[in-house]
Chain A
């Protein structure tokens, strides 16, 4: 099963987004990671790498990110880690919900889940 990691500058935000996505995600593993490790806002590559390992059930991981350094630190985490993982270029909350649903499909792959997450870029609300 494809796992998910939600990365935000705020750990609280990451956990909240993971909760919202988890409602739709059945058995999908969703890890939340965020904060600078010192109690402040930020993202840390090592922490993201750890979250990817936790989320990986053997079929790879799709990573959802919020702003700037979350993208860069997620890239570093993927480069240095051992799991098959990709970043979805998607809004972090809507992308996580889409990805969580997509991951429940029996045929889900990292690429199909990323594609569904990225489809959230076109969601209109009004």
Chain B
């Protein structure tokens, strides 16, 4: 098993553990403005995904991601199947040549593209898109413009996702089951944005542990990861 493949398998297991832990919180959030199935669906789907990826003979990153996505598609009886699972399957080829800063950005952008295409949701609709868009844009900018390493860039993306989750609280839902509630959806945090944040937090933890670790994680948007003088043209 490649180190990267091992890291992705560990990430799927970490996400499964986290979503099991958060099952009741996600259910509570979804009870308020949805159909109360998000906690159970996510916990069950990711547990099945974690099991499926341990059975792979040659778990390269793209294969692990695709397998996890396909398992979610068949195990989750709701919108989370196509949105989380279908998008993972669709974006998985971006990791065929391994996990690099470039391929990670491509993966994140393709995943977001599929979520938006499938769900037809935009920022401000009170959905997972409200967490994903700032996260993916922050990740891309941090890598491509600020030339940060992938792990600290992901840390910034997680912080952006958290702000996106907070943003879902005061707004009115325009997509998803919560949109049927109209103004009654105001004041409630979106469950899909919340689970998206949980998944990203686990990815960051596993990436920090398994992939190239920087000397220190940035705490502020302005913090550079590469000290002046150590940047090389290559």
**B3, CB-defined interface residue at 8 Å:** no
Residues of B within 8 A of A40 (CB): 37, 77
Q: Which of A33-68 contact B (CB under 8 A)?
A: 35-38, 40-46, 67-68
**B15, CB-defined interface residue at 8 Å:** no
Residues of A within 8 A of B73 (CB): 45-46, 76
* Inter-chain contact B118/A45, CB cutoff 8 Å: no
A100 to B112, CA, bound (A): 38
Nearest CB of A to B21, in Å: 21
**A20, CB-defined interface residue at 8 Å:** no
Residues of A within 8 A of B134 (CB): none
A68 to B41, CA, bound (A): 15
Q: Is the interface of B mostly helix, strand, loop or mixed?
A: helix
Contacts A42-B37, A45-B73 given; indicate if A75 touches B78 (C-beta within 8 A): no
**Which candidate, B56-64, B81-89, B219-227, is the interface stretch facing chain A?**
B81-89
Q: Which of B29-67 contact A (CB under 8 A)?
A: 35, 37, 41, 44
Q: Can you list 29 contacts pairing A with B, beta carbon distance less than 8 Å?
A: A35-B77, A36-B37, A37-B77, A38-B77, A41-B35, A41-B37, A42-B76, A42-B77, A42-B78, A43-B78, A44-B74, A44-B81, A45-B73, A45-B74, A45-B82, A45-B86, A46-B74, A67-B177, A68-B79, A68-B176, A69-B78, A69-B79, A72-B79, A72-B86, A73-B79, A73-B81, A75-B82, A75-B118, A76-B81
Residues of A within 8 A of B37 (CB): 36, 40-42
* Inter-chain contact B78/A36, CB cutoff 8 Å: yes
Closest to B35 in A: A41
* Inter-chain contact B177/A72, CB cutoff 8 Å: no
Residues of A within 8 A of B79 (CB): 68-69, 72-73
**B93, CB-defined interface residue at 8 Å:** no
A75 to B73, CA, bound (A): 12
Closest to B34 in A: A68
Residues of A within 8 A of B81 (CB): 44-45, 69, 72-73, 76
Residues of B within 8 A of A43 (CB): 77-78
**B218, CB-defined interface residue at 8 Å:** no
Mask, B170-184, CB within 8 Å of A = 1, is: 000000110000000
